[in-house]
Amino acid sequence: MRAERSTGLDRVIGARSGKKFAEQLGIATAGELLGHFPRRYLARGELTPIRELPFDEDVTLMAQVVSSSTRRMNTRKGSITEVLVSDRPGQTNGPSTLSLTFFNGVKASRQLTRGVVAMFSGRVGMYRGRLQLTNPIYELLDPEELDAEAAAKLAGRPIPVYPATAAIPSWTIAKAMGTVLGAVDLSSVPESLPERLRRKYGLPSAAEAYRMIHVPENDAEWRIAQQRFRFEEALVLQTALARRRAQHAALPSRPSPARRGGLLDAFDRGLPFELTAGQRDVGEVLAHELSQPHPMNRLLQGEVGSGKTVVALRAMLQVVDDGGQAALLAPTEVLASQHYASIRATLGPLVREGLLGGAGDDGVEVALLTGSQSAGEKKRSLLAAASGQAGIVVGTHALLSEHVQFADLGLVVVDEQHRFGVEQRDALRAKSLATPHLLVMTATPIPRTVAMTVFGDLETSVLRELPAGRSPIATHTVGLVENPSWERRIWQRAREEVDAGRQVYVVCPTIGAGAGDEGDLDELDAATWGGSALAAPEPLQATSVSETAEQLATEPALAGIEVGVLHGRLDTEAKAAAMRRFAAGETGVLVATTVVEVGVDVPNATLMVILDADRFGIAQLHQLRGRVGRGGHAGTCLLVTRLEPGHPSRERLEAVAASTDGFELAQHDLEFRREGDILGASQSGRRSTLRLLRVLRDGDVIARAREDALELVADDPELERHPELAAAIADYLDPEREVFLERG
Ligand code: ADP
Ligand code: MG
C-alpha cells in the first residue's frame, strides 16, 4: 500500500502489531515510527564487549554461544537451559562471558548451539557473581540463516539499535521500519529545513535522512542523518523562541525614562557603597530598556551576594519616579518578608509610611502581600496596590491572585525564576493595560547553551564580580568513614564560632519526624538544580532536621547554646519566629533544610555544616554555602559525608570544595546530570523533550541554529515563506511540550 505519514501504523504493519506499537511505544502512525530514531548502531560481525554492559539496565548485544546445557529443576516442574555466550570466540570464562538462563527454553536449547551468533535483548542481572540475562529474547544472526543475496546486501551495514521494550525488541522495530520506509512516499515528507540552510551546512533532505538514519549503508550515513535532525531540532526550537521574543518585544509598554532629581537619584546619593562595574553596566542597560515603549524581558544572573537586589531596586525606583508601580515576586513567604524588610531598610528615609497617606515626591510606599497575612493587613496592601499608593509591592504567589489590582504596574521583578512559569508572568501582565517590563533574577549560574535553550526568549545579563569586601568561603569535605572522630570536631568547631559571637547553619537533606518526606520539596526546586534526583539509592537513611536537632540538644560541645529549627513544614508563624531569633542572634545554631538556600540573609553566620552533603547537587551546595561569610567575616563550609572515599557522589563534593566559580561549577554540574534533569523532564515523569539534541554536547549546533533563527524571523516574522517550519514548530509546541519552553 501507499502510505502517508499520518497513516495509522496498524494499516501498514497489521492490526496486531500496530496495537502493540501503540500500547508499548506510544507510536500510532507511520510518521511517528519514522521519528523513532535508533539509540545507537552495532557493527555487523562485531561482538559487543560484555564487560562494559551496564548492570540492571536493558541492553541489546551481539554475542556468540560458547556452550549450552539443559537440566531439570529439582523443586519445580520444568527445565532450565543455561547458555553461555562470549564476546570472544573460544572464551568460556571470565568477564567476557555472560550467562543466559531460559526457563523451559526448549526452542532456545535447540537454536542456541555452540558457535551461533545472535542478538540478545534483556535486563542485565547478576547471579553468583556473574552477569546474567534471564529469559532474554534473541534473534539469530548466523550467516547460514540468510540466503546469499540477503547476506551480501547486509554485509557491512550497521545494525540500528532502537529504544525497545521486552515485548517489542529492537529487531522487530527495525523490521517494521523497513515496511514503513517501503510504504511511505518519502518525497512527500515535509522539509522543514529551508533549502538555503541545508545547502549552507551540507545536510541531506528529510527524505534522505530518514532512510540514512534507519537503514544506513555505513556509519557515515547515520552520522550525517543525525546531524541533520539535530540541527533541525535546534532550529525549530530556536525559531519558536525567536518568534516568541519578537512578538513580545512588539507589544506596547509604558516607557519610564529616568527622571533627574527623583527617588533614584536620592537613593544613589545615599548608597553607603560604590556600585560594582557590573552593577553599573547592567543598571544602564535596564535604564535604557525601561525607557522604551516596548517591554523589557530580561534575565539577570548573579551569584548569591552579587548585588542583584540593589540593581532591581534601582530599576523599580526609575519606574516609581515616573509615576508607575513595581511588583517584586519572591518564591516563598520567608523570602518575601525578607525582601520587604531589606528593601525598606535599604531605602531608609526614602520609605513613605502608608498610614500617613497623602501623595508627594517625598518617598515611596512599600507594601507586602502574602497569603498568611491577616485579613486586615491584606486589605491594606490590596488597597495600596489598587490605588497606586504603594509604589513597590512585594509578595508571593498571592500577588498573582485575581483580587490583586494595580493602578499602574510598570515593572515586574521575579526573584529566583524557577518558581514562576509563564502563565504566572502573564497573570501579572494582565493586571496592566500596557505590558509591564520584566526582570527575572536568578542566583543559579546557567551555562550559555542551557540559557539559550531554556530561557531563549529572555535577554540575559550577568553580574560576575562580587562586591568588594566579601570574604571568600573556605570549603572542606569531611569524610566520616575515614575519620569518625571528626564528627566530634565539627560540633567543637561550631562552638568556637558561637563563642566568637558568630552563628552556624546546619543543613540536613530531610525534615524527619513524620517520615515519608523527600526533603523540603515545597521550598526547593528540585526541577532546576536539586540534587536529590541525582543521589543513587543509598542504604543509609538521610540525616533529618529533627534527629539532628535532637542530637545537638544533648551534644556536650554545644551545651548552653540555643539550637533553632527551620523547615518548610513549620507553619508560617513558627518559620518567621525561627528566622527572627536566628537573625537577632538569639539562636546560635540553626538546623534547617534547604529553605536557607534561597536568599536567607544573616550576615553574622560564618559556618555552614551540610550533613549528608552528597545528597545535594553541585549548584545547590554552591548556593547553600553562599549563605555564610556575608558580613565581612570569613566563611567556612563543611561538606559532611558518610560515603566511602572514592564513591562517585563524593566527586561532586570535591568539585564544590575546589572551586568558588559558580559558572565553572554549573558546567561541571551539567556533566554529572542526565539531560532530562536539565530540562526538568524528570520531574514530570516525561521523557526528555529533546530527541537527538543534547544541550551540553551540542552547544555549537544550538548557537548556530539560534543565529539562523534570528535571521529567519527578522526576515519573515510570520514564517509565511516557511510554512513547513511553522508546521514543525506547531508540532513541537504541542501542549505537552510547551511546558518546557515556558519555564522562564
Ligand atoms: P543578591 O540579591 O545578588 O544575593 P544582594 O543584592 O542581596 O545580593 O546583595 C548582598 C549584600 O551586598 C547586600 O547586603 C547589599 O547591600 C550588599 N551590596 C550590594 N551591592 C554592593 C556593592 N556594590 N558594594 C558593597 N556591598 C554591596
Ligand atoms: Mg537576593
CB 327 within 8 A of CB 398: no
Distance CA 559, CA 618 (A): 33
Q: What is the dihedral of CA 336, 340, 346, 351, to 10 degrees?
A: 160
CB 661 within 8 A of CB 643: no
What is the pLDDT confidence band of residue 728, given thresholds at 50, 70 and 90? confident
Return the CATH number of 473-659, one of 3.20.20.70, 3.40.50.2300, 3.40.50.300, 3.60.150.10. 3.40.50.300
pLDDT over 60 (residue 528): no
Q: So what's the pLDDT on residue 43?
A: 79
Mean pLDDT, rounded, for 644-663: 84
Mean pLDDT, rounded, for 14-20: 92
CB 295 within 8 A of CB 443: no
Domain formed by 44-156, architecture: Beta Barrel (2.40)
Segment 154-180, tens digit of pLDDT? 667 888 989 887 788 888 999 999 999
Distance 412 CA to ligand 1 centre (A): 20
What is the pLDDT confidence band of residue 258, given thresholds at 50, 70 and 90? very high
Distance CA 652, CA 349 (A): 46
The edge-to-edge listing of strands for the beta sheet with 605-610 is 473-479, 635-641, 605-610, 503-507, 589-592, 563-566
Distance 301 CA to ligand 1 centre (A): 14
Q: Which residues on adjacent β-strands are paired with residue 510? A: 544
User: Beta-carbon neighbour count of residue 58 at 10 Å?
Assistant: 16
What is the pLDDT confidence band of residue 743, given thresholds at 50, 70 and 90? very low
Distance 89 CA to ligand 1 centre (A): 67
Question: Does 275 sit in the ligand 1 pocket, CB within 6 Å?
Answer: yes
What is the pLDDT confidence band of residue 517, given thresholds at 50, 70 and 90? very low
Question: Does 276 sit in the ligand 1 pocket, CB within 6 Å?
Answer: yes
DSSP 530: -
Cell for 435? 505590558
List all residues 6 or more positions away from 223 whose beta carbon is below 8 Å from its beta carbon: none
Q: So what's the pLDDT on residue 685?
A: 31
Residue with grid cell 519566629, as numbered in its chain: 577
DSSP 364: B
Relative to the CA of 626, which ligand 1 atom is closest?
A: 4
Distance CA 340, CA 346 (A): 10
DSSP letters, 146-213, are S-HHHHHHHTTPPEEE----SSS-HHHHHHHHHHHHHHB-GGGS---S-HHHHHHHTPPPHHHHHHHH
CB 103 within 8 A of CB 135: yes
This prediction's pTM: 0.65
Kind of pairing, strands 390-395 and 325-329?
parallel
pLDDT over 60 (residue 736): no
What is the pLDDT confidence band of residue 488, given thresholds at 50, 70 and 90? very high
pLDDT over 60 (residue 38): yes
Provide the percentage of residues in the chain whose pLDDT is more than 90.
45
Q: So what's the pLDDT on residue 739?
A: 41
For residue 632, with 0-12 CB atoms within 10 Å meaning exposed, 13-18 middle and 19 or more buried, which class applies?
exposed
Question: Does 230 sit in the ligand 1 pocket, CB within 6 Å?
Answer: no
Coil, helix or strand for 518?
coil
Report which bound ligand comes closest to the CA of 598. 2
What is the pLDDT confidence band of residue 605, given thresholds at 50, 70 and 90? very high
Distance CA 641, CA 347 (A): 42
Q: So what's the pLDDT on residue 690?
A: 61
pLDDT over 90 (residue 403): no
Kind of pairing, strands 40-42 and 159-161?
antiparallel
Residue with grid cell 523451559, as numbered in its chain: 104
Closest among 646, 292, 666 to 451, alpha carbons compared: 666
Residue with grid cell 496596590, as numbered in its chain: 385
Kind of pairing, strands 97-103 and 117-127?
unpaired
pLDDT over 70 (residue 51): yes
b/e code 179-200 from CB counts within 10 Å (16+ = b): bbbebbebeebebbbbeebbee
Distance 311 CA to ligand 2 centre (A): 10
Q: By 3-state DSSP, what share of the chain in percent is helix, strand and coil, each rounded to 5?
A: 40, 20, 40
Q: For 58-67, 454-463, 476-485, which range has the lowest pLDDT when averaged over its residues? A: 454-463
DSSP 709: H
Length of the chain, please? 744
What is the pLDDT confidence band of residue 738, given thresholds at 50, 70 and 90? very low
The edge-to-edge listing of strands for the beta sheet with 297-302 is 365-369, 390-395, 325-329, 409-415, 437-442, 297-302, 459-463
CB 317 within 8 A of CB 267: yes
Kind of pairing, strands 437-442 and 409-415?
parallel
Most ligand 1 atoms within 8 A of CB, residue of 301, 310, 417 to mutate: 310
Q: So what's the pLDDT on residue 535?
A: 35
List all residues 6 or more positions away from 575 whose beta carbon is below 8 Å from its beta carbon: 333, 334, 566, 595
What is the pLDDT confidence band of residue 1, given thresholds at 50, 70 and 90? low
pLDDT over 90 (residue 371): no
Q: So what's the pLDDT on residue 429?
A: 67
Q: Please, what is the average pLDDT of the chain?
A: 83
What are the distances in angstroms from CA 635 to CA 309, 558, 662, 710? 22, 20, 17, 45
Kind of pairing, strands 130-134 and 97-103?
parallel
Distance CA 550, CA 538 (A): 23
What is the pLDDT confidence band of residue 381, given thresholds at 50, 70 and 90? very high
CB 110 within 8 A of CB 79: no
Which residues have C-beta under 5 Å from ligand 2, the single-atom ion? 309, 599
Q: So what's the pLDDT on residue 522?
A: 31
Segment 274-304, tens digit of pLDDT? 999 999 999 999 999 999 999 998 989 887 7
Say if 44-156 and 263-290+307-442 have the same CATH topology.
Answer: no
Mean pLDDT, rounded, for 562-574: 90
List all residues 6 or more positions away from 386 whose beta carbon is below 8 Å from its beta carbon: 404, 405, 406, 407
Mean pLDDT, rounded, for 689-714: 83
Coil, helix or strand for 161?
strand
Mean pLDDT, rounded, for 650-676: 75
Q: So what's the pLDDT on residue 559?
A: 94
Where in 480-567 does DSSP place strands (E)? Answer: 503-507, 563-566
Cell for 275? 556600585
pLDDT over 80 (residue 515): no
Q: Which residues on adjacent β-strands are paired with residue 100? A: 83, 133
Question: Does 435 sit in the ligand 1 pocket, CB within 6 Å?
Answer: no
Distance CA 422, CA 440 (A): 11
pLDDT over 60 (residue 684): no
Question: Does 603 sit in the ligand 1 pocket, CB within 6 Å?
Answer: no
Q: So what's the pLDDT on residue 361?
A: 56
Atom 10, ligand 1: which residue's CA is nearest? Answer: 305
Distance CA 42, CA 437 (A): 53
Distance 297 CA to ligand 2 centre (A): 19
Question: Does 341 sit in the ligand 1 pocket, CB within 6 Å?
Answer: no
pLDDT over 60 (residue 529): no
Segment 207-225, tens digit of pLDDT? 999 999 999 999 999 999 9
CB 190 within 8 A of CB 206: yes
For residue 516, with 0-12 CB atoms within 10 Å meaning exposed, 13-18 middle and 19 or more buried, which class applies?
exposed
Most ligand 1 atoms within 8 A of CB, residue of 309, 343, 465, 625 to mutate: 309
Does residue 682 or residue 437 have the better pLDDT?
A: 437
Distance CA 185, CA 354 (A): 71
What is the pLDDT confidence band of residue 469, given thresholds at 50, 70 and 90? low
User: Beta-carbon neighbour count of residue 585 at 10 Å?
Assistant: 15
Report which bound ligand comes closest to the CA of 300. 1
Distance CA 717, CA 334 (A): 43
Question: Does 302 sit in the ligand 1 pocket, CB within 6 Å?
Answer: yes
Distance 661 CA to ligand 1 centre (A): 18
User: Beta-carbon neighbour count of residue 90 at 10 Å?
Assistant: 7
Distance 411 CA to ligand 1 centre (A): 21
CB 447 within 8 A of CB 420: no
Task: Give the type of residue at 255.
Answer: P
Where in 597-634 does DSSP place strands (E)? Answer: 605-610
Domain extents for the chain? 1-40+173-187, 44-156, 263-290+307-442, 473-659
CATH number of 263-290+307-442: 3.40.50.300
What are the distances in angstroms from CA 398 to CA 333, 343, 467, 609? 10, 19, 33, 33
Report which bound ligand comes closest to the CA of 629. 1
Distance CA 723, CA 191 (A): 10
Does residue 655 or residue 212 have the better pLDDT?
A: 212
Mean pLDDT, rounded, for 710-733: 89
Cell for 663? 559558572
Does residue 695 or residue 2 have the better pLDDT?
A: 2
What is the pLDDT confidence band of residue 121, given thresholds at 50, 70 and 90? confident
